[in-house]
Amino acid sequence: MKTIYLIRHAKATGQEFSAPLTKEGEEQAKKLIEFFKEVKIDVIYSSPFTRAIDTVKPLSEQKGISIIEDERLGERMLSSESYADWKDKLKDSFDDWDLEFPGGESNRQGYNRAAALVEKVLRDPHERIILVSHGNLSTLLLHYFDKSSGFEELFALSNPDVYRIEISEKGAVIERKWS
């Protein structure tokens, strides 16, 4: 059986690639050490975005496990343009998975890159895996295991958030662990 811990990054100052964690986000990252104190982890994969790396860095240092940066965990870009009604456009992209805005990535494209990483870690010998990502992409990762995960679940996520996904021959069991 494999266990994937999916972590959405802690609170950050913005959405750009280099946005750092806020002071509150830094404290949240430290709380992940206590959260995972009794949990054995074999490998940590993270989005290369600063806020994702900084979320898991204290835990990686405490566990003595290097962070493997993987672009497939990077956030899905809705568009290179700014929209006042971005939330409506985001919902539209969950209704039509092939909808692609200028300079952006469709949900299907984001899902396919996330699925490629999941399939890789499922083939690997590691049994206890951490994946650190972002809101939209975390929702797509959850969708891989539970097709009902979508737009509403995206807006139910917190910063940070942690889901445990137990995978066996019978399928996957998803449990939200962060409160």
Domains and CATH numbers, the chain: 2-176 (3.40.50.1240)
3-class secondary structure, 115:
helix
pLDDT computed for residue 29 by the predictor? 97
> Please, are residues 54 and 79 in contact by the beta-carbon 8 Å criterion?
no
- pTM of model > 0.85: yes
Query: Distance between terminal CA atoms of the chain?
Result: 25
| Rg (the chain; Cα; Å) | 16
pLDDT computed for residue 179 by the predictor? 77
pLDDT computed for residue 87 by the predictor? 96
User: What string of pLDDT tens digits covers the 179 residues of the chain?
Assistant: 999 999 999 999 998 999 999 999 999 999 999 999 999 999 999 999 999 999 999 999 999 999 999 999 999 999 999 999 999 999 999 999 999 999 999 999 999 999 999 999 999 999 999 999 999 999 999 999 999 999 999 999 999 999 999 999 999 999 999 97
Beta-strand pair 171-176/161-168: antiparallel
pLDDT computed for residue 133 by the predictor? 98
The H or E element that residue 161 is part of is strand 161-168
